[in-house]
Structure 1
Amino acid sequence: MTTTPPEPDQPFGAGQTPYPGQQPAQPAYGAYPTGPAGAPRQGPPAPEQPASISLAVKLMGAGAGVSLISLIVSLLGLGSLKDDIARQMREADPSVTQSTIDAAYAVGIVFAIVVGAISVLLWLWMAWKNGQGRSWARVTATVLGALNVVFTLFGFAAGGVETPTLLLSVVNLVLAVVILVLLWRKESTQFFEGHTAARRLY
């Protein structure tokens, strides 16, 4: 009995007729699992965005715009803030220097910019990741949205909010509530579950 020599690019034993009692050559250990047709096995295709997710992503973008406008309004109102800071600091310590007041005012400006920028970036980040169907992003957006609602209501209860800031807070509150409802609709849940299944390794 003769054997067929292996092709140059085939491993030893591939394509050869086994001797009597010899086991056929087995594929290399750790070979990638394949499906019935020999193609690599894959998860189900990722579902497309339903209308609820598409709208939620757009509203998150609108929320980023509202946060940016709020930042601009805050910066425009910092002139009166400096007077308030000076008055409060002089009431607490009549000997306070102008340089100390200026330093406190600068800290207030930096704080307003940082908080506003973080708010804008969070809206955009949540829009991006929820649009990709990341389940953790929906949970994160829910926590952030709930905190947004709570802090806004506390701000209303405290009073002393200027009209432009009050209007922007109301818009922000409505956006947060609507987005949370959209993210937890049935078709939205199916969208997140479908993306989780598509990323799961088999």
Structure 2
Amino acid sequence: MTVPGTPEQPRQPDPQQPQQPNPYDPQAAPQAPQDGPPAAPQYGQPGPAPYGGMPTAPQYAATPAGPPVAAPPSITLAVRLMFVGAALSLVGIILAWATKDALRDQLRDASSSSSLTPSELDTLLNVSLAVATVVGLIGVGLWIWMALANGAGKSWARIVSTVLGALSVVTTLVNLTRESGASMALSVVSIALAVVILVLLWRRESSEFYAARSAKL
């Protein structure tokens, strides 16, 4: 009951009575569930485990490789001699064309029983020179290829060089009796060069160089 003339006091909320939310209070509004992926972790922290699994371990940078293994003197000398062999192959091509008259005489003597005509002899001479040129250019390419591969420490290159060197020595020795003058001298130098290169490739320090390069691959 209130006395007339006195202001009405505001009612105090009943603590046992549930209060109604204020529709104008933004904090009283119900919060919507957050959808979408979780926030990205900060720099340096491991990410969340997928599907409740174990947390992923941090990734570390790979250890940088050591300095390349330097080639021993035996390999360096063998590579230089291989380039010399490539130059000798070019000299052999030039020498074949420079001595084509002597080659013509050899072909005439070898084909005396077949009685070749001059035109047929010229054709045989040109074919022989073309074959010598192609074989010589292939030899130049093989010399350079083996020089680069062995200089890089490729173990397979030493094996290929050994096989090619052995074949070169055998074929040169077989044909040595048919040659004379500058051609014979060039063949003798080529045989000696191949033998020296093979010895250098199979020295102990060379084998250690190939093994060290193979271990780094």
TM-score normalised to structure 2 length: 0.70
Question: Which of 66, 83, 87 in structure 2 is aligned with 1:65?
Answer: 87
1:84-125 superposed Cα distances (whole Å, 9 cap, x missing partner): 4356546314xx554433322221121010011111111111
Question: Which of 185, 201, 214 in structure 2 is aligned with 1:183?
Answer: 201
Provide the residue aligned with 1:173 in structure 2: 191
Larger Rg: 2
The answer on 1:49 being equivalent to 2:71 is yes
Q: CA deviation at 1:42?
A: 6.1
Contact 1:43 1:197 in 2 (8 A): no
Structure 2 Cα separation of the partners of residues 23 and 108 of structure 1: 76
Contact 2:47 2:56 in 1 (8 A): no
Structure 1 Cα separation of the partners of residues 106 and 186 of structure 2: 22
Q: CA deviation at 1:9?
A: 9.6
1:104-162 superposed Cα distances (whole Å, 9 cap, x missing partner): 22211210100111111111111011001111100000011111222222233xx2321
Structure 2 Cα separation of the partners of residues 108 and 154 of structure 1: 18
The answer on 1:6 being equivalent to 2:6 is no
Counterpart residue identity of residue 139, structure 1: I
The answer on 1:122 being equivalent to 2:178 is no
The answer on 1:139 being equivalent to 2:148 is no
Consecutive unaligned residues in structure 2, runs of 5 or more: 1-37
After the TM superposition, which segments of 4 or more aligned residues of structure 1 sit over 6 Å from their partners? none
Contact 2:149 2:157 in 1 (8 A): yes
Consecutive unaligned residues in structure 1, runs of 5 or more: none
Counterpart residue identity of residue 132, structure 1: A
Instruction: Name the structure where helix makes up a greater proportion of residues.
Output: 1
Provide the residue aligned with 1:26 in structure 2: 56
Structure 2 Cα separation of the partners of residues 146 and 83 of structure 1: 30
Counterpart residue identity of residue 88, structure 2: V
Structure 2 Cα separation of the partners of residues 135 and 66 of structure 1: 25
Q: Percent identity?
A: 39
